[in-house]
Chain A
Amino acid sequence: MLSKDPEQARWFAEEVLPHEPKLRAWLRGRFPALNEADDLVQEAYARLIAARATGPVACARAFLFVTTRNLALNRLRHQRIERPEGAAEMDVVAIADEAAGVPETVVQAEDFKVLVSAIQSLPERCRQVITLRKIYGLSQREVAARLGISENTVEVQGAIGVRRCIEFFRRRGYGPKSRL
């Protein structure tokens, strides 16, 4: 890894890289039609590093899996490839797995108070949609199935959720952070 920061290099080597084999295996299994695993994984890494550069990340592994999955779904849609049945299933086991990320999760729970509070402040349906999508990494379709509502409703509720969260963040002066 190219890194000037020994701490970042250590973090990457210890908390991120070990997940790659499983991430790739999962990607191959769920998205056999996509042959751009390298691109997807690289992009997910880039997003994870960018996110961590501006604040804490609860679980690097979950972030990686969910981001990669979202990128893959996005690409499928853009290429008009029909999604194979179950392609998007983001099993929580894949996210949670072993002890990975547990120390960070425990130690930093306080750091996410604004984010958690924003979700808590949402109306019920909205809150459920955002919780399933963001905390558990379920796709739009999976959320629809789990809550017994249409995909369109998930989309609409998600949009309301985003607006309300933005409103919540603004009231608290919580905004994009820069390392400047």
Chain B
Amino acid sequence: MTSPAADSPLSDSIHREASHWVMRRDRGLSPIEQDELSQWLAADPRHRRIFAEHNWGWEELDRITGLQASLGAMPDPDLFASRRGARSSTLRRLRWWAPLTLAAAAVLVVFIQLRRPGGGVPEGMAAPASTSGYVTSAERRVLEDGSVVELNADSEIEVRYTAAERQVRLVRGEAKFSVTRSPTRPFIVTVGNITVRAIGTVFVMALDSMTVEIVVTEGRVAVESTAVVRPSAEVLHLTAGERAIVPRAPATSAQVSTLTPTHLAARLAAFDSRLAFQDTPLADVVSVLNRHNEVKLVIGEPTLASLRISGSFRSTDVDAFVRLLSASFPEIKADRQGTQVILRRK
């Protein structure tokens, strides 16, 4: 949208239709017109894009609503009539308007987690992995608009797409959504009485019986809690790197903090690929894990290298792997030294 050359000429029929749709939508669409608009938008990707630009432009003008309202009670249609040849040539390019920048990413990632009541979840882990190393891999589903949902183990979503909205309800578990951007068809995730509306690009969300946790990894989201009374203005905007704990009860307020890139990565690790090994030499497992992690495993005893390993675990969860290893092979001793974990025989 930055350069006019990227689009067809403004005079062409798509622009005319787009601007007319913006006007019709502004004065209100009948159900039939609503269907017609949906069909028109779906007919050609350019329709959607150009409509979005026109709609943006029309709404942008709302910023100056009431700009002169205090000057007099009578609306003056010629308020902005040019005087004494003061035409557009006199307009300066205003330096404080930055050149248009499109949102860099075309996707939005939502991550939602229903935490176990009372259990509490360690930072960066979706579920305690200590008891069993055999965990189901995250399920990946591509929705009709190209958005991708990654569901963690024991998770469930309901997808309800209409022409106007893309609605997803998290029933249980945790999920991460990579949402295809569509300004005219908002992507809305609901968890209980909490609604997360994708405005920009990427975010993460988690929930237990008392709270919803939302972590934005890219872009921004609007979080709304439709609590019992539905108090005014319960809209919380979060941007990349921010994490909010939103209570499900209306009484308390949300806590917002900023995550470091490391914490952010850890938080997202729940959806990292899981590594599955079948009768694989420990040396190979170690080298694969080391590629994924800052904490490096070191085989301190050469005879351990050929030990055969079977199982699956999160690629970024070294600790869980070490626990699993120690539990399965009592003869192995693991010593943590800074960012190294040295594996030896007892």
- Mark A residues whose CB is within 8 Å of B: 1-4, 8, 12, 16-17, 20, 38, 41-42, 45-47, 49-51, 53, 55-59, 61-63, 66-67, 70, 73-78, 80, 92-93, 95-96, 101-102, 105, 109, 111-121, 124, 127-132, 134-140, 146-147, 155-156, 158-160, 162-163, 165-167, 169-180
Contact = CB atoms under 8 A, between A and B. Distances in A.
Given A59-B67, A115-B63, A131 B79 contact: yes
Nearest to B103: A178
Interface stretch (B39-47, B229-237, B305-313): B229-237
Pick from A46, A73, A75, A162 the residue with the most CB of B within 10 Å: A162
A58 to B, nearest CB: 4
B159 interface: no
Contacts of B76: 131
A124 B80 CA distance: 10
B328 interface: no
B100 A49 contact: no
Main secondary structure of the interface of A (DSSP, over half): helix
Between A56, A92, A160, the greatest number of chain B beta carbons within 10 A of the residue's beta carbon is seen for A92
B28 A76 contact: yes
B58 to A, nearest CB: 5
A105 B28 CA distance: 29
A87 to B, nearest CB: 12
Given A173-B97, A179-B200, 7 more contacts: A17-B232, A42-B235, A45-B235, A62-B69, A120-B88, A132-B77, A170-B4
B104 A131 contact: no
Contacts of A4: 236-238, 242, 244, 254, 256
A104 to B, nearest CB: 10
B26 interface: yes
A113 B102 CA distance: 22
Among B4, B58, B72, B81, the one with the most A-chain Cβ atoms within 10 Å of its Cβ is: B58
Contact of B23 (A56, A155, A167, A172): A155
Given A45-B232, A73-B27, A116-B80, A121 B75 contact: no
Nearest to B257: A4
A180 B103 contact: yes
A115 B163 CA distance: 31
